């Protein structure tokens, strides 16, 4: 019989990609569906704290390892008046939200969001409305949030119960304004000029802010490339990041290409880096832009139906249930972000609770982890330190969309804790993939551990009645001998190999 197909990885401590920025493990909270109401915030829930936050959800957010949260949108922000969400809750206006065709009560607003970030230990990424509003309103919001005191808006924040500034550093300058679906959709020239002027004014208010310009809403947008070049022609010197958004629909692709979705993300990232660096050359600038991949996930978008009829309040929207197959593909996206940590220095899993989310809740009932929760939690916990350059030799398989694709998708992190972590996905749905990792200049300092997320049923999922159907399990201890770590990756699996290292001499 022929030997089984196998994969080989070569690495060395001297060859690194870069240091992982903790902001790579961000998420996203939008006023959409039940993300906020009966998700994060449910004052009448038995587990609610004094601020109305669900403590069972807070515990899962902490376990997930999220470091930063983007708020309040998303499409929602492009028609949002931030003033509606501050002050006494019972005096706040109810508004129509045209983005998702719902009623927004504004019961949860800026103060409640800040209470959530502080309770969960998160940094905030705040988006401003550049759809129906402009520089003046963005500057007002910044002054309300960050100016210490002594002005009408900063003192208003104090009167609302927050005498100390919120100190929000990260700001998104609008959302997906290249998209025709967006309230206030703009051409690249219109948006680029607006972004540059908004950024200049915001830096006058608070020079410490870090600003994110909207890139394309996806690599498939007809204006992709031209949008980035035009926007950066106006705003390169005024911004610190450009954004990327990408979602992968299991039902919009053939199965083989879906498993290779990370190929699209990889190409998207490298193309945007090239566009940013071309703009840098044209501007003769010493500054190098970072990438903020501030919306990414698996999304069964083909199941989405546009809202019609009445305007509901916090309806069940986009509550996708993720399978173990989705978790494996999700893991390849995490690996791709880590492989580009030198330029992708912020990222937001969209979203956090209920809406295409790793955490699900039932009103008045329990909260539980979806399958995608586990790869994110492991990456956020173990993916801290230096990402290593890998040389990978892997068998391939054929896909209609991407051609020949490696069965192995992997990265490795030399951790701050002195442990080498290899994140690896076996895309083969039917066969094990033996893996050998050549450790280069690393020396093992203890036994390795192999955690795997897989299931005999590729459609297995976690639900309210079976919340732990799919969870990571520990396999037999991998062998470490003669400078090599060997393990067997089960079919269609997300794998985490952890090897304590001997101190360097």
Read off φ and ψ for residue 499, nearest 5 degrees.
Answer: -130, 110
Handedness of CA 91, 363, 50, 69 (dihedral sign): negative
Please state, in angstroms and rounded to a whole number, the distance separating the CA atoms of residues 349 and 59: 18
Chain centroid offset of residue 432 CA: 30
Specify burial of residue 503 (Cβ count, 10 A radius: 0-12, 13-18, 19+).
exposed
Report the candidate in 293, 393, 305 with the shortest Cα–Cα distance to residue 23.
293
Determine the Cα angle at 499 with ends 494 and 502, to 5°.
165
Helix (H) or strand (E) holding 242: strand 241-248
Q: Which of 104, 176, 228, 266 is catalytic?
A: 176
Q: Are 133 and 127 in contact (CB under 8 A)?
A: no
Cβ proximity of 77 and 292 under 8 Å:
no
Q: Do residues 69 and 25 make contact, with C-beta atoms less than 8 angstroms apart? A: no
Helix (H), strand (E) at residue 385: strand 385-388
d(CA 97, CA 460): 35
Is 176 catalytic? The answer is yes
Find out whether the peptide bond into 35 is cis, omega within 30 degrees of 0.
no
| Helices marked H in 457-501 | none
Cβ neighbors of 207 (< 8 A, separation 6 or more) are: none
Whether 417 and 499 have beta carbons less than 8 Å apart is answered as no
- Residue 56 backbone dihedrals phi, psi, to 5 degrees: -65, -35
Instruction: Output DSSP code: residue 414.
Output: E
Catalytic option among 295, 310, 362, 398: 295
Contact of 252 with 302, CB cutoff 8 Å: yes
Is 310 catalytic? The answer is no
Cα angle 180, 183, 189 (rounded to 5 degrees) comes to: 65
* 3-state SS, residue 429: coil
- Scanning 303-372, the segments in alpha helix (DSSP H) are 324-339
Cα gap 10→228, rounded to integer Å: 36
Q: Quick check: helix, strand or coil at residue 473? A: strand
Task: Give catalytic residue positions.
Answer: 176, 295
């Amino acid at each position: 019989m022929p030997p089984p197909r196998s994969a080989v990885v070569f690495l060395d401590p001297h060859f690194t990609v870069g240091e992982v920025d903790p902001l790579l493990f961000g998420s996203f909270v939008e006023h959409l569906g039940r993300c906020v109401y009966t998700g994060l915030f449910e004052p009448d829930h038995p587990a609610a704290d004094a601020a109305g936050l669900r403590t069972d959800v807070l515990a899962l957010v902490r376990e997930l390892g999220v470091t930063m949260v983007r708020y309040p949108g998303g499409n929602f922000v492009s028609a949002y008046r931030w003033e509606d969400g501050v002050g006494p809750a019972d005096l706040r206006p109810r508004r129509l939200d045209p983005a998702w065709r719902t009623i927004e009560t504004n019961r949860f607003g800026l103060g409640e969001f800040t209470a959530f970030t502080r309770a969960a230990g998160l940094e905030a990424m705040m988006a401003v409305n550049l759809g129906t509003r402009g520089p003046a309103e963005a500057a007002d919001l910044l002054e309300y949030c960050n100016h210490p005191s002594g002005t009408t808006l900063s003192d208003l924040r104090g009167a609302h119960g927050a005498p100390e500034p919120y100190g929000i550093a990260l700001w998104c300058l609008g959302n997906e304004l290249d998209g025709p679906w967006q309230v206030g959709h703009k051409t690249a020239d219109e948006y680029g000029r607006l972004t540059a002027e908004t950024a200049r004014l915001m830096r006058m208010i608070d020079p410490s802010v870090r600003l994110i310009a909207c890139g394309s809403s996806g690599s498939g947008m007809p204006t992709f490339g031209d949008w980035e070049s035009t926007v950066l022609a106006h705003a390169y010197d005024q911004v610190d990041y450009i954004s990327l958004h990408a979602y992968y629909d299991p039902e919009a692709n053939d199965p083989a290409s879906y498993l290779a979705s990370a190929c699209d993300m990889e190409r998207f990232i490298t193309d945007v880096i090239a566009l940013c660096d071309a703009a840098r050359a044209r501007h003769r600038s010493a500054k190098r832009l970072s990438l903020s991949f501030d919306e990414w996930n698996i999304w069964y978008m083909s199941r989405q139906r546009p809202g019609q009829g009445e305007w509901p309040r916090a309806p069940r929207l986009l509550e996708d249930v993720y399978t173990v197959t989705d978790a494996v593909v999700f893991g390849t996206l995490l690996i791709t972000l880590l492989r580009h940590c030198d330029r992708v220095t912020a990222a937001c899993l969209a979203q956090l609770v209920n809406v295409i989310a790793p955490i699900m809740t039932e009103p008045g009932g329990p909260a539980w982890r979806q399958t995608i929760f586990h790869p994110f939690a492991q990456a956020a916990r173990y993916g801290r330190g230096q990402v290593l350059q890998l040389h990978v030799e892997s068998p391939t398989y054929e896909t209609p969309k991407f051609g020949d694709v490696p069965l192995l998708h992997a990265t490795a992190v030399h951790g701050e804790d002195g442990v080498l972590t290899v994140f690896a996905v076996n895309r083969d749905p039917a066969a094990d993939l033996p893996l050998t990792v050549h450790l280069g200049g690393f020396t093992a300092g203890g036994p390795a551990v192999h955690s795997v997320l897989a299931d005999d049923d590729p459609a297995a999922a976690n639900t309210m009645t079976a919340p732990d159907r799919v969870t990571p399990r520990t396999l037999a201890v991998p062998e470490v001998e003669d400078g090599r770590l060997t393990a067997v990756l089960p079919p269609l699996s997300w794998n985490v190999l952890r090897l304590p290292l001997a101190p360097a001499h």
